[in-house]
Amino acid sequence: MSANNISVNGYNFYTVKANGRKYIIGGVPEESKDIYIAEAKDASAIVLITSNPQFCGGVGEVVKENPGIEVYATPAGLRNIKEIINRDINEKLIKDGMELDGLKFIITPGLPWVDTVSVIYGNTLYSGELFSGDENYYREHLGINRDFVISALDRLSGFEFDTICPAVGEIITDTETAFSGYRAFTKTQIPAKKLVSVIYSSRYGFTKSLAEYAKDKLCTEFEVYLSDAETADKSIVDKSDMLIIGTNTINRNAPQKVWDIVTSLDLVNKRSMPYFVFGSFGWAGDGIKLIDKTLQAMGMKQASKPVEVLFAPSDKDFEQMDKAITKLVSQKL
């Protein structure tokens, strides 16, 4: 039996040869698929650690050239990959704890996709996005599913590993430190006060002044996280009990950095989080309305109608912020 790793632009996939069969574990983005396709030409099987398209580049071409190649995945993974590559496959279902040619499959959902699988071969763990990168990678990709990460760590800690092969980043040989480090990532301080995130985008400082006003009004009774949307820590936003989001308007829309915050919200655990939207505009305030309508459509709980301010906020505008804040904090959490 033998194993090999191939790294392409920071993404890793692995080959394992066991019982005369060659398995491809993991994958790469579409733009890096050529090496994956070449390596898979003589493979017996593909193991999808996830159906996230970021790790499925080249799978369609491999299946097209070799329709008989076995594709192993969870039920959700098999369904998704057929839709992604738009062709039938020689599908093989992964069941939790299943063993095949010395490979052991552990279903570890939520890392971050629901169909993720960890593979054990000897004393090597093929971990997918778990153990990928540093704490910043964890916060960006896995922090939203903290409980799933803890569950996976608990399950996998029952095995002894001398090597961890992640989907992204360097191969790990100090496995004990890797496990303890990831457990540390999942530790969150429970604030004594309820947490309110105030996230904003401001071109001329008008929306920022409203955001800072909101923080000043709330900080005596609440833990307040104030940040420009560009640099906001999404994992903190997802831990929040309430959300206040401010946006300017560019080309009758909200800036992309505000949309990035909205679309990254944890709809599983924070679906009914109270919020309100505010912002300053010049010619049109469409961005404010679009963000508010989207949050409503996502199932968030609108505490107040948007506070829309023409250019610099006046005393009346700050009074409207006061009213919106009062309605927000009166919501049942």
pLDDT averaged per 10 residues, the chain (length 333): 79 95 95 94 96 94 96 96 94 97 96 94 96 88 89 96 96 96 80 85 96 95 95 92 96 96 86 94 91 95 97 96 96 71
Q: What is the phi-psi region of residue 143: left when phi exceeds 0, alpha when psi lies from -120 to 50, beta otherwise? A: alpha
Per-residue model confidence (pLDDT) at position 191: 47
What pLDDT was estimated at residue 212?
97
Contact (CB, 8 A) for 6 and 13: yes
pTM for this model (two decimals)? 0.62
Pairing label, strands 21-26, 11-18: antiparallel
Last residue of a domain, one of 186, 221, 245: 186
In a domain, 331, yes or no: no
Give the SS3 label for residue 105: strand
Question: Residue 1: what pLDDT?
Answer: 54
Q: Helix, strand, or coil here: 329?
A: helix
Look up residue 260 and give its two tokens: 């990035």
Shared-domain flag, residues 264 and 119: no
Give yes or no: residues 154 and 172 share one domain: yes
- Distance separating alpha carbons of residues 271 and 265, to the nearest angstrom: 9
Question: Domain containing 284: what range?
Answer: 195-325
Cβ neighbors of 214 (< 8 A, separation 6 or more) are 198, 224, 244, 278, 321, 325
Task: Show which of 167, 186, 205 is a domain's final residue.
Answer: 186
- Which token pair is 269? 């655990």
Q: Is the domain of 66 the same as that of 114?
A: yes
Same-domain check for residues 121 and 207: no
Rounded to 5 degrees, what angle do the CA atoms 178, 179, 182 make? 85
> Residue 315: which CATH number?
3.40.50.360
